[in-house]
Amino acid sequence: APCASSTFDEFLRVDGGAFRAETRLVSWGLYADQLAAIRRVGFRDPDLLVIFSEPALRDAARLLDFVVAWLGLARFDFARLRTYRDALGREQLRAPGPLGWAHAFYDAHNSEMVRRHTAEPASAAARRALDDHYRRPNRLLDMLLRTARDVAVYPPRAGNGTLLPGSWSS
């Protein structure tokens, strides 16, 4: 999938309101549809865990603690694991041994990765098109998660307020 904002705009064909929504990159974001399909094949709500990636990626250790507790496993000190920051500034687990060191060194200095995965935000037109496209599906997801109280959600629900922001582009 294209990650540089200019390439992403071209990929979505955000031009004068035209928007290419039939791609998997866009349809993967229809989470209420995915949850409905999972429920239809027989998964019960107490067996489901929904993880919102934006907050999860900001604090991986907290997410892992939550998942381990949800699974009913013994607590593990994830802070003991060796990590490194890749060229995009993301925390990554370091594999053991010399190969792990070499891989971490490469990831930390890989300018090609930075060039292809820019931190530059998507254009305003792309953000508006995505907000418009996901507005109704996100309302459905929010309603589903507020009413399906047995579905676990990370970060945990706080009260009865909305779980999703009104716009992902602000």
Cα atoms in the 13 Å half-sphere on the side-chain side of 63: 13
* 139 against 92, higher pLDDT: 139
Calculate ∠ Cα 94-49-72, nearest 5°: 75
Asked if the model's pLDDT at residue 123 lies above 80, the reply is: no
pLDDT of residue 67: 94
The tens digit of pLDDT for each residue in 8-45 reads 677 777 656 566 767 777 778 888 999 999 999 999 99
pLDDT of residue 37: 93
Backbone angles phi, psi at 2, to 5 degrees: -70, 140
Q: What number of residues does the chain have?
A: 170
Q: How many CB atoms lie within 10 A of CB 130?
A: 21
pLDDT of residue 12: 74
**Least-confidence region, from 61-65, 108-112, 139-143, 144-148:** 108-112
Pairing mode of beta strands 49-51, 152-154: parallel
Q: Which of 22-26, 75-79, 134-138 has the highest mean pLDDT?
A: 134-138
Q: Which of 148, 156, 150, 124 shows the shortest CA–CA distance to 59?
A: 156
Pairing mode of beta strands 91-93, 83-85: antiparallel
What's 13-76 look like in SS3?
CCECCECCCCCHHHHCCCHHHHHHHHHHCCCCHHHCEEECHHHHHHCHHHHHHHHHHHHCCCCC
Mean pLDDT (the chain, rounded) = 80
